[in-house]
């Protein structure tokens, strides 16, 4: 095959959910965030594995993702829409029993007028300045909204991956001030918030990146391996260049492998001349420019030509690759190409 293989360990994802569920305070429900096609890993197989592990509430970004997820899970599990109730969403929300997290007075009005009695939650802005109602807006409409019976009041931490950041405590205090005494279930913590401790957990936690083996959940089981096939090799003489713009020139006779993946497949160009691939435990340097569909790797030191090399795997996580590329593991995972042949593993003994 000339297509790279993305191997996804569903048992690891389920184990990570169970561990984060256990890390959440006693009596706290643990949801699962599966937006962006389950962080690039495939919402169909991932969501089913999480449901089998025990997740009964899921979060996605937009109503269209919720519609896909409802087809996957069928009736029963609650599917929450973080973008809220947007124009044009009403039929999907009503017909498919989706639960929007309302972010503004406009959304509150739209939802309560078009779907009276339908489940909803409210998202509050406690300092991130992204989604949700700020304190003055919430104070003005809270009595009316609370009377309508929201199922959840939630907010999102901006700096939970940095436990010492002052904004964590500030957001916690703001959230308490905005929600104390309402009698409505509350949620503030995603993966990082779970790790900050029980005072951030409230009634529901919403792990996302930690399910898939990413930071800040350092104890996570790795869930992803990305193996790139070698489609050609060539001997390169000293002084010859490899790839676009002659960005790598051989200092000695070299054996160069061309692998099938490039920036069209989610490998950033910033990896050019700056990353390793792995033949088992042996590192092999990426040389020259990352191009659209191909990369080149120096395999001169290998005893034989490999069939494939790993760019994500036991020796290099998505976060490690992101560090090299100057980005974050979230971006690496969610950019994984649909050209990759996805292989799912579960039920390992």
CB 252 within 8 A of CB 296: no
Q: Is 154 annotated as a binding residue?
A: no
Answer left, alpha or beta for residue 84, where phi above 0 means left and psi between -120 and 50 means alpha.
left
Q: Token digits for 6? A: 């993305």
Coil vs helix vs strand at 192:
helix
Active site residue 199: no
Answer whether 297's CB lies under 8 Å from 287's CB. yes
Q: Please count the CA atoms within 13 angstroms of the CA of 137 that sit on its side-chain side.
A: 16
Catalytic residue among 199, 212, 244, 340: 244
Q: Is 292 annotated as a binding residue?
A: yes
Cis, peptide link before residue 216, omega less than 30° from 0:
yes
Q: Is 159 exposed, middle or buried (0-12, 13-18, 19+ CB in 10 A)?
A: middle
Catalytic residue, chosen from 35, 39, 263, 308, is 35
CB 245 within 8 A of CB 331: no
- Label residue 347 exposed, middle or buried (CB < 10 Å: 0-12, 13-18, 19+): exposed
For the chain, strand residue ranges (E) read 5-9, 29-30, 32-33, 57-60, 78-81, 98-102, 121-123, 153-154, 186-187, 204-205, 224-236, 241-242, 248-249, 254-260, 276-279, 282-287, 294-298, 308-312, 341-345
Give catalytic residue positions.
Answer: 35, 244
Binding site for substrate, by residue number, is 130, 292
Known binding-site residue numbers:
130, 292
């Amino acid at each position: 095959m000339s297509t790279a293989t993305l191997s996804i360990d569903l048992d690891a994802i389920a184990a990570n959910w169970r561990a984060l569920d256990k890390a959440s305070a006693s009596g706290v429900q643990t949801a699962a965030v599966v937006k962006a096609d389950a962080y690039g890993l495939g919402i169909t197989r991932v969501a089913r594995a999480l449901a089998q592990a025990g997740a009964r509430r899921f979060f996605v970004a937009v109503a269209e993702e919720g519609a896909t997820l409802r087809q996957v899970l069928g009736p029963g599990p609650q599917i929450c829409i973080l973008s809220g109730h947007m124009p044009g969403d009403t039929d999907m929300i009503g017909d498919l029993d989706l639960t929007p997290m309302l972010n503004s007075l406009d959304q509150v009005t739209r939802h309560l007028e078009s779907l009276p009695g339908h489940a909803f939650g409210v998202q509050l802005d406690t300092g991130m300045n992204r989604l949700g109602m700020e304190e003055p807006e919430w104070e003005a409409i809270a009595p009316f909204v609370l009377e309508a019976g929201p199922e959840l009041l939630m907010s999102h931490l901006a700096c939970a991956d940095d436990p010492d950041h002052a904004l964590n405590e500030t957001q916690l205090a703001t959230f308490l001030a905005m929600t104390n005494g309402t009698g409505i279930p509350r949620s503030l913590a995603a993966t990082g918030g779970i790790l900050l401790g029980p005072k951030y957990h409230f009634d529901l936690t919403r792990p996302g990146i930690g399910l898939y083996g990413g930071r800040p959940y350092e104890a996570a089981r790795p869930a992803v391996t990305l193996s790139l096939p070698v489609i050609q090799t060539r001997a390169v003489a000293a002084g010859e260049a490899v790839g676009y713009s002659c960005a790598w020139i051989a200092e000695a006779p070299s054996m160069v492998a061309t692998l099938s993946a490039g920036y069209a497949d989610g490998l950033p160009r910033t990896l050019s001349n700056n990353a390793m691939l792995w033949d088992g435990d042996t590192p092999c340097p990426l040389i020259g420019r990352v191009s659209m569909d191909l990369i080149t790797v120096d395999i001169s030191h290998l005893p034989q030509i490999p069939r494939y090399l790993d760019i994500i795997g036991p020796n290099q996580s998505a976060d490690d690759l992101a560090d090299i590329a100057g980005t974050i593991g979230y971006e690496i995972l969610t950019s994984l190409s649909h050209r990759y042949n996805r292989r799912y593993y579960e039920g390992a003994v």
